[in-house]
């Protein structure tokens, strides 16, 4: 398969912090010309069967997917897993553990917001949650927009939900080695998600790349909804320099919030090895 494939290997449904069902996402992806799709909910694979069935019904090929939250040198990094066996017991247990602290974290986030005069945010955020196991900052952001505290989710993150702000609670997710192992030992490929979005120095980024590869990670997102054109060029170079395959995905969450729609992003640069070439045997 050439890089001209319209592959979208990163998006979210109501099973995590997206607003559409797996079926509605499949329909939208297919209408936008996606050939190969993956639903990559945060820390959760409960939507995989529905997504695979909906992909088949829409004539798209499918790869299983998840986006795992990782703590690396004290910062949160996201690792996308693609093409794993969704029944793998170690992966299921690891994801369940990763989800485990979210409710307590959400209660502490609400306490922080109450202290700056915004009460009731836990209950407010819960009203937007599709999966009770997966309350995320995105649900708080939707509540704070709908209740008129901020004009959009971006403003919520900037003022309230990022490191040092009143609704931010430091959290310990999976380790990098755990996430990569859960994915690869379940037959999948691990991918560093949106590498330009981490606040890393050059040395820290080098450490992430080399440790990721050391653990068996094989790919990096080059074309994503959260990269600028210049960032795409930079991570195309990074992929080549480190011998990593390249992935492509919109990171679509919602028609109202996401500026990049499913499948509507540049093709992978032709000189890179597409991640789906490593996964030909796992495509459904
Ligand atoms: P959590 O896993 O609960 O920490 O939430 C992380 C999610 O918040 C990400 O997957 C994004 O969907 C969303 N997010 C993070 N930063 C921003 C931002 N600056 N603007 C809008 N959404 C964001
Ligand atoms: Mn998200
Ligand atoms: Mn992410
Ligand atoms: Mn994502």
Per residue in 185-242, pLDDT (tens digit) is: 999 999 999 999 999 999 999 999 999 999 999 999 999 999 999 999 999 999 999 9
Which pLDDT score is estimated for 216? 98
Q: Where are the alpha helices (DSSP H) in 129-270?
A: 137-146, 153-156, 176-185, 202-214, 229-242
User: How large a percentage of the chain has pLDDT more than 90?
Assistant: 98
Per residue in 92-143, pLDDT (tens digit) is: 999 999 999 999 999 999 999 999 999 999 999 999 999 999 999 999 999 9
Alpha carbon distances (Å) from 42 to 2, 65, 165, 198, 244 = 28, 9, 23, 17, 23
Q: HSE, CB side, 13 Å, CA atoms: give it for residue 74.
A: 4
d(CA 79, CA 223): 15
Q: Which helix (H) or strand (E) holds 38?
A: none
Q: Is 104 exposed, middle or buried (0-12, 13-18, 19+ CB in 10 A)?
A: exposed
What does the angle CA 58 – CA 60 – CA 63 come to, to the nearest 5 degrees?
130
* pLDDT tier for residue 249 given thresholds of 50, 70 and 90: very high
Residues within 6 Å of ligand 1 by CB? 17, 42, 69, 136-138, 153-154, 157, 253
Per residue in 38-67, pLDDT (tens digit) is: 999 999 999 999 999 999 999 999 999 999
Task: Delineate the domains of the chain, giving CATH numbers in brackets.
Answer: 2-98+173-282 (3.20.20.140), 102-161 (1.10.150.650)
Residue to probe by mutation, ligand 1, list 13, 103, 136, 196, most atoms within 8 Å of CB:
136
Q: Which residue has the tokens 């109450």?
A: 114
Distance (angstroms) between ligand 1 centre and the Cα of 218 equals: 24
Which pLDDT score is estimated for 58? 97
Q: pTM for the whole thing?
A: 0.97
Distance (angstroms) between ligand 4 centre and the Cα of 65 equals: 11
């Amino acid at each position: 398969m050439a890089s001209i494939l319209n592959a979208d290997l990163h998006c979210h449904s109501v099973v995590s912090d997206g607003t559409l069902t797996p079926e509605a996402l499949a329909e939208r992806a297919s209408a936008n010309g996606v050939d190969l799709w993956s639903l990559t909910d945060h820390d959760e694979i409960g939507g995989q069967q529905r997504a695979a069935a909906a992909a088949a019904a829409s004539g798209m090929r499918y790869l299983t997917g998840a986006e795992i939250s990782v703590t690396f040198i004290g910062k949160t990094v996201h690792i996308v897993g693609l093409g794993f066996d969704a029944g793998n017991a170690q992966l299921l247990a690891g994801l369940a553990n990763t989800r485990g602290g979210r409710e307590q974290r959400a209660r502490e986030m609400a306490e922080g917001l109450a202290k700056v005069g915004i009460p009731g945010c836990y209950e407010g955020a819960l009203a937007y949650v599709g999966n009770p196991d997966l309350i995320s900052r995105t649900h708080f952001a939707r509540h704070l927009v709908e209740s008129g505290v901020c004009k959009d989710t971006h403003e919520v993150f900037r003022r309230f939900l990022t490191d040092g702000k009143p609704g931010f609670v430091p959290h310990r997710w999976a380790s990098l080695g755990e996430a990569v192992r859960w994915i690869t030992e379940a037959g999948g490929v691990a991918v560093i998600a949106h590498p330009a979005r981490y606040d890393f120095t050059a040395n820290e980024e080098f450490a992430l790349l080399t440790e990721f590869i050391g653990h068996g990670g094989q790919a990096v997102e080059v074309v994503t909804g959260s990269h600028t054109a210049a960032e795409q060029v930079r991570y195309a170079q990074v992929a080549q320099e480190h011998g990593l395959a390249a992935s492509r995905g919109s990171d679509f969450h919602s028609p109202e919030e996401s500026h990049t729609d499913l499948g509507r992003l540049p093709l992978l640069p032709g000189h890179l090895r597409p991640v789906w070439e490593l996964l030909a045997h796992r495509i459904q």
